[in-house]
Amino acid sequence: MGRSLKIKKTSPGSGNGGASVTVDIGFNNFGNLTNPVYNSANTLSANDFLGVVGGSPATSTATTAYPEVVAAVNILLANGTNTGSGAGRIIRQKGAHKFMVARTAATVTDGSFIVGQSYQIVSLGTTVWQDVGAGSGTVAVGDIFTATAASSGGNGTVYPVGTCVLSNTGSPSAGNMSVRFSVGDSVAVYASYLTNKWVRDWNGMTYGNYSDSNAGTNIQSGENFYVTNFFTDEGTVTWSGAEIIGNVNAQNGSLQLAQITNVTS
């Protein structure tokens, strides 16, 4: 699947004096490169970078300097219902088109947990987390657990967590998700494949079986292939020494930029 999507996170106690340090916040920006080559439209700046990152909203903070991928997700819940389509964030990559996600459109409060469902802790509150399945040790914001009870009698909050696969719609059905991107001021389209450097559209793209245990066969038959970033969809960038990348022609060693839909806060 190529290089997996980087996930921004915070490393507690790693900085001077025990301060938290944000890691994998992005790629080296152009200002930190030696003799950088910007995009052909010259719309990128020294503060920008190529590539994209995901981020778990309970443990990372998106900013204008370091945005994070935003998705529409519809998580299939343990009781057979679903969350409905809503804003979500990527926690972990499970395949080129399959991700562990949190639905961030709304929190779930202690008292409404579904037994057998995975959640990510958003606020600790007064919940006794060990009583609802979060383990016997210290519990922290960002921890993921599987609920063993509907309530502990507290008021902590969580995001539902599940595995979803990419689909070609802005309102994905249960078990699916979508990530939008644009190219050259075009109307936004949806990704069929996403890594930390590349995105493909759905032109001629199909997949095999979607299931929790099978990421699906990646059947490539003419999809368009782009270089990802958060800042612009204008122009091309040079691919050093390559005329063909993954069966996709790179005219004169150049590929079009795609801007991935993102959040900055």
pLDDT tens per residue across span 47-79: 999 999 998 888 888 999 999 999 999 999 999
pLDDT at 214: 42
Higher pLDDT, residue 133 or 237: 133
Domains of the chain: total: 1
Q: What is the mean pLDDT of residues 126-147?
A: 94
pLDDT at 211: 43
Higher pLDDT, residue 240 or 258: 258
pLDDT at 16: 61
For the cut 60, the answer to whether the pLDDT of residue 25 exceeds it is yes
Residue 102 lies in a domain: yes
Residue 203 lies in a domain: yes
What's the pLDDT band for 212 if we cut at 50, 70, 90? Answer: very low
**pLDDT tens digits, one per residue of 238-252:** 866 555 455 555 555
pLDDT at 248: 53
pLDDT at 23: 82
What's the pLDDT band for 29 if we cut at 50, 70, 90? Answer: very high
Residue 221 lies in a domain: yes
pLDDT at 221: 55
- Its pTM stands at 0.87
Q: What is the mean pLDDT of residues 170-191?
A: 91
Residue 1 lies in a domain: no
Residue 161 lies in a domain: yes
For the cut 80, the answer to whether the pLDDT of residue 192 exceeds it is yes
What is the distance of C-alpha 61 from the center of its chain? 13
For the cut 60, the answer to whether the pLDDT of residue 213 exceeds it is no
Residue 197 lies in a domain: yes
Residue 117 lies in a domain: yes
Expressed as residue numbers, the domain containing 84 is 6-263
Higher pLDDT, residue 260 or 200: 260
- Portion of the chain with pLDDT greater than 70, in percent: 83
Cα–Cα distance measured from residue 240 to residue 256, given in angstroms and rounded to the nearest whole number: 14
Residue 128 lies in a domain: yes
Please state which of the ranges 37-51, 72-86, 204-218 shows the lowest mean pLDDT: 204-218
pLDDT at 31: 93
